């Protein structure tokens, strides 16, 4: 083939390729070198029943029983059909959206009648929700003296304290997640006894789980049960143990 014919053939091929490219709405991948288009992964669906909790204990009041307390609270909330995750926070950290802070206080509080308060929850929140736990009263309700060291306490007493702490936390979290849930029996008793705080099992009223799940889904609910701070108190007679 002469040089003229070779040049004409090359020009013809280029013309055909150019014509095909002009007619095609997509680039023509003649050599197979164009990278395939990558699809961005879809974001995971948001689970309204996933509860993200933050453990805040600036005074280290629950050191040694904190893991047991978080495990007990998680177990009770799972019985209500919730998915629970914990992280340990720092005292001065900024609250993160979507989390509920569990704040342990190294001081007591009491109702107007003088009954010690184990935990409390504000009736409404300006920002992210939180609950308070008055650790000295939880200790006293389980038989540990204020001056006793958790580190040297008997194993049974430490276990009882951790379980009681977790149950108070779970009680208050129900108030924070679903303010319309009133006090009742079992976990949601207005006054928690020594047996309820430390026994082998603490029942949850059948209506509590559905009410909390409905609140997390944003479904209509009843007005808040109490006008003021929702608090779990200790049964007075039990504090003498």
Domain boundaries, the chain: 50-240
Q: What pLDDT does residue 226 have?
A: 47
Q: Give the H or E element holding residue 69.
A: helix 66-79
In angstroms, rounded to a whole number, what is the distance separating the alpha carbons of residues 110 and 119? 10
Q: What pLDDT does residue 219 have?
A: 87
- Residue 221 near residue 208, CB atoms below 8 Å: no
Tell me phi and psi for residue 192, to 5 degrees.
-90, 130
What is the average pLDDT across 156-163? 87
pLDDT digits 0-9 by tens, 44-69: 567 889 999 999 999 999 999 999 99
Q: What pLDDT does residue 113 have?
A: 83
pLDDT digits 0-9 by tens, 175-230: 999 998 999 999 999 999 999 999 999 999 999 999 999 999 998 765 444 434 44
Q: What pLDDT does residue 232 have?
A: 60
Q: How would you class 108 by CB atoms within 10 Å of its CB: exposed for 0-12, middle for 13-18, buried for 19 or more?
A: middle
Sign of the CA dihedral with 190 first, then 162, 75, and 228 last: positive
CA 163-168-173 angle, 5° bins? 125
pLDDT at 73 over 50: yes
- Residue 221 near residue 178, CB atoms below 8 Å: yes
How far is the first Cα of the chain from the last one, in angstroms, to the nearest whole number?
A: 111
Q: What pLDDT does residue 83 have?
A: 96
Tell me phi and psi for residue 232, to 5 degrees.
-100, 125
pLDDT digits 0-9 by tens, 80-139: 999 999 999 998 888 899 999 999 999 988 888 888 999 999 988 888 999 999 999 999
CA 86-91-95 angle, 5° bins? 65
Q: The domain 50-240: what is its CATH number?
A: 3.40.390.10
């Amino acid at each position: 083939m002469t040089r003229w014919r070779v040049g004409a053939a090359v020009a013809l091929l280029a013309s055909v390729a150019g014509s095909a490219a002009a007619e095609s709405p997509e680039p023509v991948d003649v050599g197979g070198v164009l990278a395939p288009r990558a699809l961005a992964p879809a974001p995971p669906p948001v689970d309204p029943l996933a509860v993200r909790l933050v453990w805040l204990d600036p005074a280290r009041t629950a050191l040694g029983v904190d893991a047991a307390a978080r495990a007990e609270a998680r177990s009770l909330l799972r019985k209500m059909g919730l998915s629970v995750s914990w992280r340990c926070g720092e005292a001065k950290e900024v609250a993160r959206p979507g989390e509920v802070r569990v704040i342990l206080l190294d001081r007591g509080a009491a109702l107007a009648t003088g009954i010690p308060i184990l935990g409390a929850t504000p009736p409404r929140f300006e920002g992210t929700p939180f609950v308070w736990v008055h650790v000295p009263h939880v200790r006293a309700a389980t038989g540990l003296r204020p001056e006793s060291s958790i580190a040297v306490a008997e194993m049974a007493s430490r276990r009882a304290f951790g379980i009681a702490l977790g149950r108070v936390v779970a009680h208050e979290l129900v108030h924070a997640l679903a303010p319309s849930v009133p006090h009742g029996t079992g976990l949601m008793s207005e006054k928690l006894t020594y047996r309820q705080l430390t026994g082998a099992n603490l029942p949850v009223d059948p209506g509590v789980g559905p009410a909390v799940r409905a609140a997390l889904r944003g479904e209509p609910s009843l007005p808040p049960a109490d006008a003021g701070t929702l608090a779990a108190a200790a049964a007075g007679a039990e504090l003498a143990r």
